[in-house]
C-alpha cells in the first residue's frame, strides 16, 4: 500500500538515522557536563593560594567538552537535518510519480491549487517534523533529563525540587496558549488560502476581467479578503505575543527561588559555591528546550495533519491500470466498438449510449455532433483514460484492457481541443522531449502541419522559446504545432479532437490534404464541428446525446436529409466554403 511509502525511506536510511541519534545523544549529554566542571573550578579557585594545575586541568576539560559538543553536533546535524531534506525530496518525487498515475476522474474532483499546496506546504511541514522538530525534541529530552538528574544527584534534591516547582505550571501554560495559537494560526492559513486563490484566479482570468471591466469589483473583493487576513493575524499576535514574556516570567521565578534558597544553603555550608554555580548552569541549560516545547508541539501537529493529507492522496488507487498479464503489443489500428455505453463519475445520464462501429486499419472516421454529444468522451475512452466494460472496445480484435497502457497509448497520437504548450523550445514541444527525432523529421512534421513557415519567422527558428518567457503562439499556431507533435510519432491511430477549429477553412483544407498523403494506410479519427473537416472521411457518424443518430459517407448523409444535412445547410448559410 502506498501509504507506507515513508517507512521505505526510513528503512533505507536506518544506519544514518541510528548514527545521527547516537551523535545527538552524545552531544546533548556531554553539554550537561559543562556546569559541573565549571562549578568545581569555582570551588578550586575559592581557596586562598589555589593550585593552578587542577584549575588548568578543568579548563582543559571545558575546552574538550566544547570541542566534543561541536564535533558531535556537526555530525548529527549533517545526518538528521540532511535526512530531512532527503525525505522532502523523496516525498516530492513519490507524490509526483503517484499524481501522474491517477486518471482524469481524480483531477476532475481536485482543485489545482490544493494539489500545489500539497506539493509545497505539506511536504515542507513533514520535513520540519521529521527533521528539526524530531532533533529538537530528542536533544531537549536528553539535556533536560541529564540536567535535572545532575541537579538532584550531584547538587541537592531539596533545592532542585523547590527551584523546579514552577516548571509544570510553565509547561501547562505553554501548552494551553500553544493550542490557542494553533487554532488561530489555522484561521490565518485558511485566510491565506483564500487570498492566494483570489490572486491565482485573477491572474489566470485577467483577460475576462478586463473584457468585462471587473477590475474595481475584483479589487474590492480582494481588499475584503486581505483585511480579513490582517485581522486574523492581529488575533494571532494577541495570544502569541503573551507566550515568551510568560515563559520568561516563569523561569525568572525559578531563578529567584534558586537564588533565595541556594544562597542560604551556601551560607549554611549545605552546598559549595561551585555547586550553586553548577546548579545555575543546569537551570540555564533547560530553559531553551522547555521554551521550544510549544514550538515543537505545533510543528508536530502541523506535520501530522500534513502527513494525513499526503497519505489521503497517496492512498488513492489509480483506476486505470495494467492488467496482470498486460500485452506488450502495439495495436495496429483496427478499432471496433460493441454496444459501448459509458457514464461519467456521478452522471445520471450516459455520455455514450449503445455505440457500435467498426473502423478498419487505414480508414478515416469522422465524428460530428452538437456540443456535449459525447465526441471527446469517445476519444478519451479509446485512449483508455477511463475504464469501460470488457468487450466494448476492441483493438485488433482484443479488448482494450488487455494491452499494456504504455504500449496502447504509444500507438496513438491525440490532438485535443485545447492543446498545451510547454515552456520550452519549439523543437522540444514538437518532439515532446524525446531526443530520438532528428531535425529533418521535425521539419517534415512541421511542413505537413503547415506550421513550418511561422516557425521560420520566429527569432530563433526551432530553438525559439515558447510560453511564459518566450513567444506566445496564436490559437491556430498552437493547434498546428500540436498536429506536428502528433504526426512526428507516425502513430497507428491519429485522433484530432476539434484540432483545427482555430485555423481558417483554407488552411484547414491544406492541412487535411497533407494529412491524407502522410496518413495513407493508417487509421484516423477526426472529430469536428465543421463538416468541411470530415467530409472526406470513409465513414462519418453523427453523435447526439451519446447516441449515433446517423452514419455513412458525406454524400449518403446529405441525401438522407437528416441532422447531418441540417448542419451542412446551416454551415453553408454561415458562409463556410462549399464542401
Ligand X SMILES: Nc1ncnc2c1ncn2[C@@H]1O[C@H](COP(=O)(O)OP(=O)(O)OP(=O)(O)O)[C@@H](O)[C@H]1O
Give the footprint of ligand X on this chain (CB under 6 A): 108, 344-345, 347, 351, 369, 371-377
8 Å CB contact between 9 and 90: yes
Q: Which residues pair with 412 in a beta bridge?
A: 493
Q: How many CB atoms lie within 10 A of CB 55?
A: 15
Smallest gap from residue 451 Cβ to ligand X (A): 23
* 3 state SS of 283: helix
The whole-angstrom separation of Cα 395 and Cα 254 is 80
Decide whether 170 or 483 has the Cβ nearer to ligand X: 483
8 Å CB contact between 286 and 147: yes
DSSP string covering 97-152, please? HHHHHS-HHHHHHS-HHHHHHIIIIIHHHHHHIIIIIHHHHHHHHHHHHHHHHHII
CA-CA-CA-CA torsion sign (106, 108, 109, 113):
positive
Decide whether 372 or 562 has the Cβ nearer to ligand X: 372
Decide whether 385 or 471 has the Cβ nearer to ligand X: 385
Neighbour-count burial of 511, counting CB atoms closer than 10 A to its CB (0-12 exposed, 13-18 middle, 19+ buried): buried
The whole-angstrom separation of Cα 364 and Cα 200 is 42
Decide whether 344 or 489 has the Cβ nearer to ligand X: 344
Smallest gap from residue 352 Cβ to ligand X (A): 8
Decide whether 220 or 345 has the Cβ nearer to ligand X: 345
Smallest gap from residue 530 Cβ to ligand X (A): 11
Smallest gap from residue 336 Cβ to ligand X (A): 20
Smallest gap from residue 570 Cβ to ligand X (A): 15
The whole-angstrom separation of Cα 256 and Cα 270 is 19
Decide whether 377 or 524 has the Cβ nearer to ligand X: 377
Smallest gap from residue 104 Cβ to ligand X (A): 6
Cell numbers 525568572: residue: 252
Decide whether 379 or 450 has the Cβ nearer to ligand X: 379
The whole-angstrom separation of Cα 330 and Cα 408 is 6
Decide whether 52 or 347 has the Cβ nearer to ligand X: 347
Smallest gap from residue 498 Cβ to ligand X (A): 6
Phi and psi, residue 366, nearest 5°: -105, 140
The whole-angstrom separation of Cα 60 and Cα 81 is 31
Smallest gap from residue 535 Cβ to ligand X (A): 18
**Spatial CA neighbour of 110 closest among 345, 421, 409:** 345
Dihedral, CA of residue 496, residue 501, residue 505 and residue 508, to nearest 10: -30
Smallest gap from residue 360 Cβ to ligand X (A): 24
- Vertex 485: Cα angle to 344 and 94 (nearest 5): 60
Smallest gap from residue 458 Cβ to ligand X (A): 30
Q: Which residues pair with 527 in a beta bridge?
A: 367, 497
8 Å CB contact between 125 and 303: yes
Cell numbers 493508417: residue: 522
Amino acid at each position: 500500500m502506498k501509504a507506507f511509502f515513508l517507512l521505505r525511506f526510513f528503512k533505507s536510511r536506518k544506519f544514518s538515522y541510528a548514527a545521527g541519534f547516537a551523535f545527538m545523544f552524545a552531544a546533548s549529554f556531554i553539554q550537561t557536563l559543562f556546569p559541573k566542571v565549571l562549578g568545581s573550578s569555582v570551588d578550586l579557585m575559592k581557596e586562598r593560594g589555589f593550585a593552578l594545575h587542577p584549575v588548568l586541568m578543568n579548563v582543559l576539560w571545558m575546552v574538550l567538552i566544547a570541542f566534543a559538543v561541536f564535533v558531535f553536533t556537526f555530525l548529527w546535524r549533517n545526518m538528521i537535518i540532511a535526512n530531512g531534506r532527503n525525505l522532502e525530496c523523496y516525498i516530492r518525487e513519490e507524490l509526483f510519480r503517484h499524481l501522474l498515475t491517477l486518471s482524469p476522474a481524480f483531477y476532475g474532483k481536485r482543485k489545482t491549487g490544493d494539489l500545489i499546496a500539497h506539493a509545497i506546504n505539506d511536504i515542507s511541514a513533514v520535513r520540519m517534523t521529521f527533521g528539526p522538530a524530531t532533533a529538537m525534541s530528542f536533544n531537549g529530552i536528553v539535556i533536560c533529563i541529564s540536567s535535572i538528574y545532575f541537579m538532584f544527584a550531584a547538587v541537592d534534591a531539596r533545592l532542585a525540587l523547590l527551584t523546579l516547582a514552577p516548571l509544570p505550571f510553565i509547561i501547562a501554560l505553554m501548552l494551553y496558549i500553544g493550542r490557542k495559537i494553533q487554532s488561530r494560526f489555522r484561521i490565518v492559513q485558511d485566510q491565506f488560502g483564500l487570498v492566494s486563490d483570489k490572486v491565482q484566479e485573477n491572474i489566470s482570468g485577467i483577460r475576462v476581467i478586463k473584457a468585462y471591466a471587473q477590475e474595481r469589483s475584483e479589487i474590492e473583493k480582494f481588499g475584503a479578503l486581505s483585511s480579513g487576513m490582517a485581522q486574523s493575524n492581529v488575533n494571532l499576535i494577541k495570544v502569541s505575543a503573551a507566550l515568551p514574556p510568560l515563559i520568561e516570567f516563569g523561569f525568572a521565578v525559578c531563578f529567584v527561588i534558586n537564588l533565595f534558597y541556594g544562597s542560604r544553603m551556601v551560607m549554611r555550608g549545605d552546598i559549595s559555591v561551585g555547586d550553586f554555580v553548577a546548579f545555575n548552569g543546569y537551570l540555564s541549560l533547560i530553559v531553551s528546550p522547555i521554551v521550544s516545547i510549544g514550538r515543537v508541539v505545533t510543528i508536530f501537529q502541523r506535520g501530522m495533519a500534513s502527513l494525513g493529507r499526503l497519505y489521503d492522496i497517496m492512498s488513492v488507487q489509480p483506476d486505470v491500470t495494467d492488467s496482470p498479464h498486460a500485452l506488450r503489443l502495439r495495436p495496429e489500428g483496427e478499432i471496433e466498438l460493441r454496444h459501448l455505453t459509458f457514464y461519467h463519475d456521478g452522471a445520471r445520464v450516459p455520455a455514450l449510449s449503445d455505440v457500435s462501429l467498426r473502423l478498419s486499419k487505414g480508414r478515416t472516421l469522422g465524428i460530428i455532433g452538437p456540443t456535449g454529444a459525447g465526441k471527446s468522451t469517445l476519444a478519451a475512452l479509446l485512449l483508455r483514460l477511463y475504464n469501460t466494460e470488457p468487450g466494448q472496445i476492441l483493438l485488433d480484435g482484443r479488448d482494450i484492457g488487455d494491452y499494456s497502457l504504455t504500449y496502447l497509448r504509444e500507438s496513438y497520437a491525440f490532438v485535443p481541443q485545447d492543446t498545451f504548450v510547454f515552456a520550452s523550445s519549439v523543437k522540444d514541444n514538437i518532439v515532446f522531449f524525446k531526443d530520438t527525432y532528428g531535425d529533418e523529421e521535425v521539419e517534415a512534421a512541421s511542413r505537413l502541419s503547415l506550421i513550418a513557415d511561422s516557425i521560420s519567422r520566429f527569432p530563433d527558428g526551432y530553438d525559439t522559446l515558447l510560453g511564459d518567457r518566450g513567444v506566445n503562439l496564436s490559437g491556430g499556431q498552437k493547434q498546428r504545432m500540436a498536429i506536428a507533435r502528433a504526426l512526428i510519432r507516425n502513430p497507428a491511430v491519429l485522433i484530432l479532437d476539434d484540432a483545427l477549429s482555430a485555423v481558417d477553412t483554407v488552411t484547414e483544407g491544406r492541412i487535411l490534404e497533407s494529412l491524407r498523403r502522410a496518413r495513407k494506410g493508417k487509421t484516423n479519427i477526426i472529430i469536428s464541428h465543421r463538416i468541411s473537416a470530415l467530409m472526406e472521411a470513409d465513414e462519418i457518424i453523427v453523435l447526439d446525446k451519446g447516441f449515433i443518430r446517423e452514419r455513412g459517407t458525406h454524400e449518403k448523409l446529405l441525401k438522407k436529409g437528416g441532422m447531418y444535412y441540417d448542419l451542412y445547410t446551416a454551415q453553408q448559410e454561415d458562409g463556410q466554403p462549399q464542401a
